[in-house]
Amino acid sequence: MRDARFTPRVFSGIKPSGGLTLGNYLGAIKRFVQTQDAATHETIYCVADLHAITVWQDPKELHAATREVAAAFLASGIDPERSVLFNQSQVSQHAELAWIFNCVTRLGWMNRMTQFKEKAGKNAEAQSLGLYAYPSLMAADILLYHATHVPVGEDQKQHVELTRDIAAKFNHDYKVDLFPLPEPVIEGPAMRVMNLRDGTRKMSKSGESDMERINLTDDADTILRKFQKARTDPAPLPETVEGLQGRPEARNLVEIYAALAGIAPAEVLARHPGAGWGTFKPALAELAVETLSPVSREMARLMADPAEIDRLLARGAERARAIAAPVLSRTYEVVGLLRG
């Protein structure tokens, strides 16, 4: 249910934690552009550099990765005039509100976050406190703008739900109606693009092997090779979507095709009746190249002028601060922090 007390506003972000993948494109960027173009909501998009450093990032590579995420947004159709586009660390209010939320969030809530468990693996003791507290910063990212809608991939649903819990507890504890309860927006096929080598794990930019993901910057030959080597079972495509049950790799490739073509998975199966992988994989690769190559070409063009990207991000940060500063001031006031 939409929180009707607040004007609809969209916020989302992507971490500069490595090269962007097809999962980021289908689950996030493509939908950010559609939301902007629908023009029904104000749209705010952020390169989440403070989130990226929850795991080690080489400082020099972080600059390049930050610009690359910004370039991917721009190349895919984010208009820096219509949307607010910036990198998180230039708006200090994110970190400040996150601290307040650290004091609202309960440890028991954090302990239920599956992303931390997945990322920490067996070695939770050696992870940064930041990785553990990540969802509290994400709640601050969203609530600092009073965002009501958060387009994300399926993997981030739990964090948006936690954001609602944090907003509700803050409002309740301080007896205010300061923060909206934002909704995750997760619509369409390929909201959880899976790893090409293991259909039970999601595709991630920080995944171990390059063969498990399609990068936005991969060339046509690489994309074809990766799809051809993608793990599948030996059976051909089924007649109906029900036939994809228990076949995670087959389902993944069909859903990727559907999302790229803008059609339903059932339509993909109807267009390729009983196709074997020898014909379906090259068709999928061709479609992926057709979609991604204009984006990667434009990204390369933009990356050749880093000063222009920096200028756009600084300008976006200024606009973001204009929204964020009054919300943080009001929060400090409600919490009882003395301001001169």
Which residues would be at the binding site for ligand ATP (CB under 6 A)? Answer: 14-15, 17, 21, 23-24, 26-28, 152-153, 155-156, 191-193, 202-206
Encoded tokens for 295 = 């984006």
**Cα dihedral value 4, 158, 318, 35, nearest 10:** -60
Residue in 205, 226, 229, 281 annotated catalytic? 205
Backbone angles phi, psi at 164, to 5 degrees: -60, -40
Judging by DSSP bridges, how do beta strands 84-87 and 42-47 pair with one another?
A: parallel
Q: What is the DSSP string of 50-106?
A: HHHTTS---HHHHHHHHHHHHHHHHHHT--TTTSEEEEGGGSTHHHHHHHHHHTTS-
User: What is the closest distance, in whole angstroms, from the C-beta atom of residue 135 to ligand ATP in the complex?
Assistant: 12
What is the H or E stretch that residue 12 is in?
A: strand 9-14
155 annotated as belonging to a binding site for a ligand: yes
Q: 221 burial class (0-12, 13-18, 19+ CB within 10 angstroms)?
A: exposed
- Active-site residue, 169 included: no
Q: Are 139 and 166 in contact (CB under 8 A)?
A: yes
Of 94 and 104, CB closest to ligand ATP: 94
23 annotated as belonging to a binding site for a ligand: yes
By residue count, the chain amounts to: 340
Of 156 and 331, CB closest to ligand ATP: 156
Q: Are 218 and 203 in contact (CB under 8 A)?
A: no
Residue in 202, 226, 229, 281 annotated catalytic? 202
Of 15 and 281, CB closest to ligand ATP: 15
- Active-site residue, 226 included: no
User: What is the closest distance, in whole angstroms, from the C-beta atom of residue 340 to ligand ATP in the complex?
Assistant: 38
User: What is the closest distance, in whole angstroms, from the C-beta atom of residue 326 to ligand ATP in the complex?
Assistant: 27
Name the residue whose CB lies closest to ligand ATP. Answer: 27
Of 5 and 201, CB closest to ligand ATP: 201
Single-letter amino acid, residue 304: A
Of 104 and 191, CB closest to ligand ATP: 191
308 annotated as belonging to a binding site for a ligand: no
How far is Cα of residue 75 from the mean position of the Cα atoms in its chain?
Answer: 16
How far is Cα of residue 299 from the mean position of the Cα atoms in its chain?
Answer: 18
Residue in 30, 60, 119, 226 annotated catalytic? 119
User: What is the closest distance, in whole angstroms, from the C-beta atom of residue 338 to ligand ATP in the complex?
Assistant: 37
CA dist., res. 300 & res. 42, Å (int): 28
Of 26 and 328, CB closest to ligand ATP: 26
Q: Is the dihedral of CA 329, 333, 335, 338 positive or negative?
A: positive
125 annotated as belonging to a binding site for a ligand: no
> Could you tell me which residues come within 8 angstroms of residue 311 by beta carbon, excluding any fewer than 6 positions away?
none
- Active-site residue, 205 included: yes
92 annotated as belonging to a binding site for a ligand: no
16 annotated as belonging to a binding site for a ligand: yes
User: What is the closest distance, in whole angstroms, from the C-beta atom of residue 320 to ligand ATP in the complex?
Assistant: 18
206 annotated as belonging to a binding site for a ligand: yes
Encoded tokens for 149 = 């809608």
202 annotated as belonging to a binding site for a ligand: yes
User: What is the closest distance, in whole angstroms, from the C-beta atom of residue 334 to ligand ATP in the complex?
Assistant: 29
Residues marked as binding for L-tryptophan?
A: 141
Residues marked as binding?
A: 15-17, 23-24, 141, 153-155, 193, 202-206
Q: Which residues are catalytic?
A: 119, 202, 205
Residues marked as binding for ATP?
A: 15-17, 23-24, 153-155, 193, 202-206
